[in-house]
Chain A
Amino acid sequence: MSLQQAIAQYLHDGQSVAMEGFTHLIPFAAGHEIIRQQKKNLHLIRMTPDLIYDQLIGMGCASELTFSWGGNPGVGSLHRLRDAVEKQWPQPLTLHEHSHAEMAVAYQAGASGMPCGFMKGYPATQLAEVNPAQIQPQQCPFTGQWLSAIAAIKPDVTILHAQQADADGNVLIRGIVGAAREAALAAKTVIVTVEQQVEKIDADMNAIVLPRWLIAAIAVVPGGAYPSYAQGHYPRDNAFYLAWDEIARDREKFLSWMQSHVLALRDHAELLQRLQVAA
């Protein structure tokens, strides 16, 4: 299935969507397709929003964000995210904020069919005060110890990028995997883009493989994680992450970049071609 078809068929306005991949394997191609199809009022979920969520937020696709660290890693702010929170541009963005550990627990609970998960450390941070709908103190029935209960995250749609899919549609993810597996198992619908389709996936016995029957749609999109990276295929374009700071700082500059690099292009292959020509 093409990525255009997958997004058109399985992701609808107003749904919650988790696009995971921790620094690595970030589904940029899928995010750009969502922007091209001008989806609205999405509830975006992701531990580290990163540049792709900066772009989705700045293009007005999102009304809510569940997250645990919203910056440009190693560079600074996500300026479009900040603009939405500080100045409500282009529209207000409701935040549901966690720590990484909380989100990991929330995805695990979602994947396990549990209403919530538990962890230590309730009194330590003020996150519970600003997110009471998802973080509550709870006493252990056996020891009396105070814990944090974290509401499960169950995305309508989870979108991942991975290295390989085999002919049957089993998907291999390797390298830094973040909470990709948990986010997939927590979702009602899973869409995956992969670097390549192979006869037989190159997986060790304990590798992270998503079996074909968990996945609604697979699209082969080489370079689909660029400017993040795909271990074994291409490295992270750190220079792009540094350059994004300047592009995203200004609303007009941002809109013009999105127009020429996303909206005006047919797909991710065209973007890669364009950036390589420009380089």
Chain B
Amino acid sequence: MAKSVQAAGKVAANVGLAVVGVAFLVPLLWVVTTSVAQGQTLKVEWPQHFTGANFAHVATVDILFRPLFNGLVLCGGGTLITVVVAILAAYPLSRYRSRLKRPFLLTILFTTGLPITAIMIPVYAMFTQLNLIDRMWSATVFMGSTALPFGIWLMKNFMDSVPVELEEVAWTDGASSMATLRRIVLPLMWPGVVVVTIFTFIGMWGNFFVPFILLIDPNQLPASVSIFTFFDPQHGGVQYGQLAAFSIFYCIPVAVLYLVMSRKLSGSFALGGALKG
């Protein structure tokens, strides 16, 4: 009796999950079918004639490669800033006791929650006045700074899991704290560093609003913003096939990074764990 109830529960769970899976799959399918189809369509349907024309059309420097490269500079630079600064900041927060530590951590947590969307208007005004608008480096540093609170918090959680006893030995041997950070702590927490790096990069790669506001010159726009040109009604309506092909190219880097993270480190799960609070 109990066995059959359990079996029924298992079947119900499988059916339920399958329904969820299909609901999540259908919107994704559209991109794949449309990218290889001739003509423009908004339906998910098996293409009558397969064609690589959409991919061929978008795979040019102006449409695809420059925006991808810009995205790499912007998000790669921003991620580098976030990760390096977060490692440095996490070390004293994880290792030392201080009266200032708690207020600082609380501020960091508080900042994590602030809607960045809300400050983009004043950031635009501020950057205009300081002549920082439409400059790649200032947009990069800004991207890095906005990801910093979350980066520091995650990094500290990962660093806390490295036992301090290992360093104490090195300290008594006269090693400086920065030397122990580099030689003892970082090698032991590199999976955490990789998780923070990849997670930060994926977040920036998909960020539309920040570069949309801060960058103007079409030659500097990353793919997250340049994708907008496909939706320009002035150029003969929306080119859905090209939009889909571009989307696939654009998603490949983050998809690969995510796979690396989840295969090697069960990273998504570690992230879920680090976020439980």
Chains A and B are bound partners = no
